[in-house]
């Protein structure tokens, strides 16, 4: 264990915490919203990383040390799920790609007339109806064979979990880099979208039976809160409950108010009242929903905004939600080093005063098209100096 | 057009309940409280619909 590492770890936690609270900071923190892009940086394929976890870990840690991020999305790369293959793939695309992808148009597992069943017993409905519709092997064979398949699935997941846990400890103790994301799950409406009704199904439901979507989401929220409560029994200085949102960017404020906001607000308030803080990935554009966001718990959320205009968003959400962004992946790939520096300079000039700013890529970096190494490095080097509060 | 898997109305309820119950017992032991079983079941089910 390195004393310097732990000291740095504490410094970085303070940077993030101060940003969330809009408190005075020594400099603007930089969040490494980076996933499989690291594979490109390392010149390694996902297949090679899977075959050689030691090389993956060593390469990842070397890259983390070089980029000097103040926090990371994950303690290792998000590899294609070997475990999912054991179940027959599920919703994961098996395409030999280096990116973990969810197969589209393959998740209409629930009918539009089944909402009442989902509302009456969300866990029972998903167990009895959705699980066998998702996985063919659950429709036949004896229970011991099914159990053996599931055990293999969980054993593989546990191995990866241990690798990630062990490396999170290393990142903390030796490199001083926190990995704040704590499991907060997906919001129930997003589970309905991703795994029950698929995109076209839920969009029709939102038009034709929005109250049912809302009721189902609230019914699903109850067991979800219990589960997340148990996983996060007390607030931790090094952890933020993480939520990745999916559907809000596609729906109107009116629809959002009916189907999404009730569960979202209830969820945020439940954990905020206990002192938890959040990192929320507001996927797509949320500018039409700022009136709702302003009613979120204040100074306890680090919001990663994918497509929002940072200059507008930072101003509107000032004093409420800390804004993470300002480094556009598109610019990192297509623009020059100097152009990227100029963009980040403007972000710091206009958005850093008053606190509440964390520099981060606007999207999770997955592929090499999400940014050129030299541009990302140049932006970070620049921001570490220029982003100091005087 | 996606395959509408929900049109299969076969009832697997008893088998799924038994399977998840066996899974919880073997993975976490038989001494769990009802609350803990329920929490484990939520985690298993939401993991296995993906």
pLDDT digits (tens, 9 = 90+) for B6-49: 888 899 999 999 999 999 999 999 899 999 999 999 999 999 99
**A132 and chain B in contact, CB less than 8 A:** yes
**Per-residue CA distances from A335 to A204, A256, A325, A332, A361 (Å):** 40, 35, 17, 6, 14
Residue with tokens 């958005």: A351
Is the predicted pLDDT of residue A299 greater than 80, yes or no? yes
| pLDDT at residue B1 in the model | 47
Q: What is the pLDDT of residue B28?
A: 92
Statement: residue A47 has pLDDT above 70: yes
Most confident range (mean pLDDT) of A40-54, A93-107, A265-279 is A265-279
Q: Name chain A contacts of B16, Cβ cutoff 8 Å.
A: 127-128, 131-132, 138
| Most A-contacting residue of B1, B3, B4, B5 (CB-CB within 10 A), to test interface | B5
Q: Please judge whether B50 and A128 are an interchain contact, meaning their C-beta atoms are less than 8 angstroms apart.
A: no
- What average pLDDT does this structure show over A243-262? 98
Q: Please compute the mean of the pLDDT values over residues A313-328 and round it to a whole number.
A: 98
Taking the CA of residue A290 and the nearest CA in chain B, the distance in Å comes to 30
- The chain B residues in contact with chain A (CB within 8 A) are 2-8, 10-13, 15-20, 22-23, 26-27, 35, 38-39, 41-43, 45-46, 48-50
Would you state the pLDDT for residue A1?
Answer: 77
The whole-number pLDDT of residue A103 equals: 67
| pLDDT of A141 | 84
Residue B9 distance to chain A (closest CA, Å): 9
- For the record, the structure tokens of A124 come out as 């029972």
Q: How far A171 CA sits from the closest chain B CA (Å)? A: 27
The predicted model gives A296-316 an average pLDDT of 98
Residue (of A316, A207, A217, A320) closest to A263 by Cα position: A217
Distance between B34 CA and the closest CA of chain A, angstroms: 13
Predicted pLDDT of residue A102: 66
A146 touches chain B (CB under 8 A): yes
| A224-243 average pLDDT score | 95
Q: Is A223's CB within 8 Å of B38's CB?
A: yes
Which pLDDT score, from 0 to 100, does residue A88 have? Answer: 83
For residue A145, give the chain B residue with the closest CA: B19
Residues near A10 by beta carbon (within 8 Å), at least 6 away in sequence: none
- pLDDT per residue as tens digits for the range A53-92: 999 999 999 999 999 999 999 999 887 777 788 888 777 6
Of A172, A161, A139, give the one whose Cα is nearest residue A71: A172
A 10 A CB-CB count for A61 gives: 18
CA separation for the pair A363, A374 (Å, rounded): 18
Give the model's pLDDT for residue B6. 85
Contacts for A390 with CB less than 8 Å, ≥ 6 apart: none
- Residue A75: its pLDDT value, please? 96
Residue, of A107 and B11, whose pLDDT is higher: B11
- Least reliable range by pLDDT among A25-29, A75-79, A214-218: A75-79
- Distance separating alpha carbons of residues B40 and B26, to the nearest angstrom: 12
Rounded to an integer, the average pLDDT of A119-140 is: 96
Share above pLDDT 90 across residues of chain A, in percent, rounded to a whole number: 85
């Amino acid at each position: 264990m390195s004393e310097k590492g732990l000291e740095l770890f504490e410094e970085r936690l303070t940077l993030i915490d101060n940003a969330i609270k809009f408190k005075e900071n020594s400099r603007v923190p930089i969040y490494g919203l980076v996933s499989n892009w690291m594979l490109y940086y390392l010149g390694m394929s996902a297949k090679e990383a899977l075959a050689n976890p030691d090389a993956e870990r060593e390469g990842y840690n070397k890259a983390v040390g070089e980029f000097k991020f103040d926090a990371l999305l994950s303690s290792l790369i998000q590899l294609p799920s070997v475990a999912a293959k054991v179940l027959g793939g599920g919703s994961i695309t098996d395409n030999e790609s280096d990116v973990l992808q969810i197969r589209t148009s393959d998740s209409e597992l629930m009918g539009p007339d089944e909402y009442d069943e989902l509302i009456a017993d969300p866990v029972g409905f998903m167990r009895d109806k959705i699980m066998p519709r998702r996985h063919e092997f659950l429709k036949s064979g004896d229970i011991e064979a099914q159990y053996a398949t599931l055990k293999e699935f969980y054993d593989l997941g546990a191995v990866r979990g241990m690798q990630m846990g062990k490396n999170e400890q290393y990142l903390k103790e030796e490199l001083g880099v926190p990995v704040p994301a704590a499991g907060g799950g997906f919001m129930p409406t997003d589970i309905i979208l991703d795994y029950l009704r698929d995109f076209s199904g839920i969009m029709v439901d939102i038009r034709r039976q929005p109250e049912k979507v809302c009721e189902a989401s609230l019914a699903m929220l109850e067991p979800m809160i219990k589960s997340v409560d148990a996983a996060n029994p007390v607030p931790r200085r090094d952890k933020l409950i993480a939520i990745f949102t999916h559907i809000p960017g596609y729906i109107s404020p009116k629809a959002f108010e009916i189907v999404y906001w009730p569960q979202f607000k209830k969820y945020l308030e439940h954990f905020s009242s206990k002192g938890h803080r959040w990192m929320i990935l507001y996927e797509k554009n949320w500018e039409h929903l700022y009136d709702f966001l302003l009613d979120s718990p204040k100074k306890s959320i680090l919001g990663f905004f994918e497509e929002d205009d940072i200059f507008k968003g930072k101003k509107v959400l000032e004093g409420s939600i800390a804004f993470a962004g300002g480094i556009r992946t598109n610019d990192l790939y297509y623009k020059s080093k100097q152009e990227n520096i100029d963009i980040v300079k403007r972000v710091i000039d206009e958005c850093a005063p008053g606190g509440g700013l964390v520099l981060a890529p606007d999207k999770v970096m997955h592929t090499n098209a999400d940014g050129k190494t030299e541009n990302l490095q140049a932006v970070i080097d620049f921001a570490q100096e220029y982003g100091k509060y005087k | 057009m996606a395959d509408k898997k929900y049109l299969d109305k076969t009832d697997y309820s008893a088998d799924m309940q038994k399977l998840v119950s066996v899974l919880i017992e073997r993975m976490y032991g038989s001494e769990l409280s009802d609350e803990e079983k329920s929490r484990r079941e939520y985690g298993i089910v939401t993991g296995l619909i993906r």
